[in-house]
Structure 1
């Protein structure tokens, strides 16, 4: 019989140390829960995965047209895009509660109060970035949150209720193609969609407990202190879980690389130092990957640049075959209908798509004019060089 509660995270092989610390703390406080690592990568025999944790590769989650799905996204987008698919798989196995944490989170007590919300009828439980109005000089303002999402998706919990599965399938369908960081379009990976959840889900609940999801974006309004029992407290209550987003264990006095906050002091500094030591120990146990991120490059080994992933996602929602093996041949083909430059320059498919995405390029270079084709080809060569895009992906074969 499946455990009532499963605690899950998602990461690629480079984040195994973070995942090990998370699972160590989860096992300590919730020994009755199942533990599952959704691997946004392929298992690397050179690595040691966390003990007592089931590893499920993303490719095994039954995501339709998986090669195209993986090809469409960079590593961050891919890690976040598989979240609803993993949660659905856990419910299919018979778990009643699915509790997701980002790998860079650590638990500091049992979370029975969160589980009680699920037992009490909640379909989803979310935690907001802000539980109070940010003051002057806050590392994150209302504008940041309105751009990236009201709720931080480093944590989301769900229970098996009549409304849960349909909403997870809705979320999964959106992330199949639009798990992107395009804030000008109102999208921020998986997270921005959750702004809609309290309206879509009658039984969604928002936890405003300031001891949950403590992180750099809310520390200016939350007070961390040492507890009398050797633990940690936030605003006078026991710390539930801390989100070490952007934390570098080699710079343990800095809360996050995402904020210019001054070095931590007092109880916060001690908390960071304790986590840094655990991270370093976990890194030593995990070992070093023997190979790069599995979906980093083409079958030839040539890295896939973001520009290519974007073109594939926007132009080819369906693709015959495996794009990792074939799309590198499409990118440098001459684009139909474009003039040839005065020096023989050819506008390829990748060059044409990049031109079409940017109003400044469309205004600045008329691809029906051979002289401007030459100018654009020179411009693109500089752009591609600066972005380390391999010439074989954009330069037409002689």
Structure 2
């Protein structure tokens, strides 16, 4: 669990309280400026959405860390927090339960319950079952199955993850509405920005490695297939 916290951030931002003090506004301005360009999932480079940035907050601002076990109880809390029910009231490590952060409802939650809870009745299982029931009642219009509006171009084609990374890396080099473009446009523009010599070196290196592993003919076929696939996108 500690390794996961190192990757995703020490503090889960399912719950964050901010007042109207000058110090709080200074924090919000600092946080917003970072998130304007660096709010995405790139754990390899030390970034995880809006959350990882807050690891620095106690070092830079006058912040208070709430350690009350009843706030923002989530599936990862099951690993080391004990929940019990007494006369209709729920407690977590002695603290009264305030609210639950139902993150990953479905397979993830059910897998965590199987891994970290003893078989049989448990207060969290009861609360989770009630949550699913209420979720179903409030999802009559099927909004939970709606597609993310930013996953496609205006023509309906899906935006590739690699293209998102290219756009992010060379943000200032692209003009206009990116949703009016297509994957091939960004791939070609990226090659131009990186420079043809750099592109040829990378391509030649991959081709030679493929030749040593799969043979010349098989490698040529792979190149042809990739070119055809990109043309059709």
- TM over 0.5, shorter chain: yes
Return 5+ residue gaps in structure 1 as ranges. Answer: 1-139, 340-346, 385-389
User: Cα RMSD (Å) of the superposition?
Assistant: 3.7
What is the aligned residue count? 221
Partners of 1:324 and 1:257 in 2: CA distance: 37
Given the alignment, which residue of 9, 13, 20 partners 1:153? 13
Aligned residue in 2 for 1:275: 131
Residue 315 of structure 1, CA deviation:
1.6
Classify 1:267/1:325 alpha carbon distance in 2 versus 1 (closer, same or farther; 3 Å): same
Aligned residue in 2 for 1:395: 231
* 323-332 or 170-179, larger mean C-alpha shift: 323-332
Partners of 1:255 and 1:210 in 2: CA distance: 19
Residue 270 of structure 1, CA deviation:
1.2
Classify 1:207/1:289 alpha carbon distance in 2 versus 1 (closer, same or farther; 3 Å): closer
Residue 257 of structure 1, CA deviation:
4.9
CA contact (8 A) 2:81 2:92 kept: yes
Aligned residue in 1 for 2:70: 211
CA contact (8 A) 2:78 2:116 kept: no
Partners of 1:233 and 1:380 in 2: CA distance: 62
CA contact (8 A) 2:163 2:187 kept: no
Given the alignment, which residue of 222, 225, 245 partners 2:103? 245
TM-score, length basis structure 1: 0.48
Q: Which has the higher contact order (CA 8 A, sep 6+)?
A: 1
TM-score, length basis structure 2: 0.78
More strand by share: 1
Alignment partner of 1:378 is 2:222? yes
- The DSSP-based 3-state class of the residue aligned with 1:178 is coil
Partners of 1:171 and 1:226 in 2: CA distance: 38
Bigger CA radius of gyration: 2
Pairing of 1:339-350 with structure 2 (within 5 A): none
CA contact (8 A) 2:160 2:183 kept: no
Residue 329 of structure 1, CA deviation:
5.5
Classify 1:257/1:365 alpha carbon distance in 2 versus 1 (closer, same or farther; 3 Å): farther
Aligned residue in 2 for 1:320: 175
Alignment partner of 1:255 is 2:109? yes
Pairing of 1:219-238 with structure 2 (within 5 A): 219-228=78-87, 230-238=88-96
Classify 1:189/1:256 alpha carbon distance in 2 versus 1 (closer, same or farther; 3 Å): farther
Partners of 1:312 and 1:362 in 2: CA distance: 24
Residue 267 of structure 1, CA deviation:
1.7
Aligned residue in 1 for 2:39: 179
More helix by share: 2
